[in-house]
Chains A and B, each alone.
Chain A
Amino acid sequence: SQKIEQNSEALNIQEGKTATLTCNYTNYSPAYLQWYRQDPGRGPVFLLLIRENEKEKRKERLKVTFDTTLKQSLFHITASQPADSATYLCALDEGYSTLTFGKGTMLLVSP
C-alpha cells in the first residue's frame, strides 16, 4: 500500500508570506491527489483535487502542483492570513475504492 509523508513538524510563517506544504508518496502515482483543511476537533474540508496528468491547479490563493517523477505534491497558500492556520491533509486516490490520507501538516500563520 502507499506510504504518504507529510511534514510532521508544524510550519510557522508570518502573515502575508507564501506557505508551502509537501506531500510525498512512495509507490505508483495515484490517479488523483486531493488536499483538505482540518480545524481542531472538526471534520476535514475538501480544498482542491489534481489529476495525475495535470501539473498545476489553482483556486483563489491556493495552488497545488503534482510531480509524478518526484512523487510529490506541493500545496501553496499565497498571501497567508492567520485564518489559514489549520492542519492540511493530502489524500491519494488511486482510482479504486479507498482514499489514503497523510497525517497532515499543521500550519501556523502569525500576525
Chain B
Amino acid sequence: EAQVTQNPRYLITVTGKKLTVTCSQNMNHEYMSWYRQDPGLGLRQIYYSMNVEVTDKGDVPEGYKVSRKEKRNFPLILESPSPNQTSLYFCASSPRTSGAKRMQYFGPGTRLTVT
C-alpha cells in the first residue's frame, strides 16, 4: 500500500531531551516536507526537501533539523525541545517538485507534547 508513515504517533517528552520523529514513504517521491499544525494557526511548513541531500527551510524552521540521506526517509530532529514545540506534526511527500503533480500525500501525524 502506498503510504507515508511516521513514528512515533504520540510522544510526551521533557524540555531539552533530544528527539527524532521518523518519516518514510514508499512511493519513490522526490519531494518531502514537514509541517506543524496548531489551533488557530493552521498548517505551517518547517522544512522541505527537493531530493536526496537537498533540504531547505520553510516558514518555521527554528529549533528543528532535518536530513535526507535516502529518498524514502526524511527524519525531523528536535535537538533541544521546548514547550512551544508542542504540536501536531505531519510529514508529507509529493511525486514532483513542481507542476501539476505537487499534491501532497500526508502521513498520519505525530502528536508531540513537551513539558
Q: Is B truly associated with A?
A: yes
**In the complex, which of the residues B4, B40, B43, B109 contacts A41, with contact meaning CB atoms closer than 8 Å?**
B109
Residues of A within 8 A of B86 (CB): none
Interface residues on B, range: 20 to 34
Residues of B within 8 A of A97 (CB): 48, 50, 56, 97
Q: Which B residues have a C-beta under 8 Å from some C-beta of A? A: 4, 33, 35, 40-45, 48, 50, 56, 58-59, 88, 90, 92, 97-100, 102-109, 111
By secondary structure, the A interface counts as: strand
How many chain A residues touch the partner (CB < 8 A)?
24
Q: Which A residues have a C-beta under 8 Å from some C-beta of B? A: 1, 32, 34, 36, 41-46, 49, 51, 89, 91, 93, 95, 97-104
**In the complex, which of the residues A32, A95, A101 contacts B43, with contact meaning CB atoms closer than 8 Å?**
A101
Shortest distance between the CB of A64 and any CB in chain B (Å): 13
**In the complex, which of the residues B98, B102, B104 contacts A44, with contact meaning CB atoms closer than 8 Å?**
B104
A34 and B41 contacting across the interface, CB-CB below 8 Å:
no
A51 and B106 contacting across the interface, CB-CB below 8 Å:
no
